[in-house]
Structure 1
Amino acid sequence: MRIIAVVGTKNTGKTTLVTKIVAELVERGFSVGTVKHTHHQFDLPERDTGKHKAAGAEIVAGIGSETFISIKDSMDLEKVLLMMKFMKDLDFVVIEGLKESKYAKISTSEFKDEFTIANVDVFNMDDAKLSTTIDLVLDRSFGMVNDLNCKKCGYESCDDFVHAKLQGRADAVYCRSESDRVILKINDTMIPLNPFVRTFIDETVLGMVKSLKTDEFGAENLNKIELLIRDKHEND
Structure 2
Amino acid sequence: MNVYGVTGWKNAGKTGLMERLVTEITGRGLTVSTIKHAHHSFDVDHPGKDSYRHRQAGASEVILASRKRVAQMTELRGDEEPALADLLARLSPVDLVLVEGYKRDRHPKVEAFRQETGNPLIAQDDETIRAVAADVALEIEDGRPVFDLNDTKAIADFILAELGL
Q: Give your verdict on TM over 0.5.
A: yes
User: Counterpart of 2:51?
Assistant: 49
Supply the AA of the counterpart residue of 2:112. Answer: T
Return 5+ residue gaps in structure 1 as ranges: 142-170, 174-236
- Contact in 2 for aligned 1:104/1:140 (Cα 8 Å): no
- Contact in 1 for aligned 2:112/2:149 (Cα 8 Å): no
- Contact in 2 for aligned 1:13/1:122 (Cα 8 Å): no
Q: Does 2:117 correspond to 1:106?
A: no
Rg larger in structure: 1
Structure with a larger share of its residues in helix: 1
Determine which of 114, 127, 133 is the counterpart of 1:120.
133
In 2, Cα distance between equivalents of 1:7 and 1:46: 35
In 2, Cα distance between equivalents of 1:135 and 1:125: 14
Q: Does 2:95 correspond to 1:91?
A: yes
In 2, Cα distance between equivalents of 1:21 and 1:3: 13
Which gives a bigger RCO, structure 1 or 2 (Cα 8 Å, sep 6+)? 2
- Contact in 2 for aligned 1:12/1:122 (Cα 8 Å): no
Shift of residue 57, structure 1, vs aligned partner: 0.2
Percentage of pairs with the same residue: 28
Return 5+ residue gaps in structure 2 as ranges: 114-120, 137-147
Query: What is the CA RMSD across the aligned residues, in angstroms?
Result: 1.9
Moved >3 Å (runs of 4+):
122-126
Structure with a larger share of its residues in strand: 2
Aligned residue pairs, count = 138
In 1, Cα distance between equivalents of 2:135 and 2:63: 35
Shift of residue 122, structure 1, vs aligned partner: 5.6
In 2, Cα distance between equivalents of 1:6 and 1:78: 16
Alignment of 1:56-205 (within 5 A): 56-64=58-66, 65-73=68-76, 74-84=81-91, 88-109=92-113, 110-112=121-123, 113-121=126-134, 125-126=149-150, 129-141=151-163
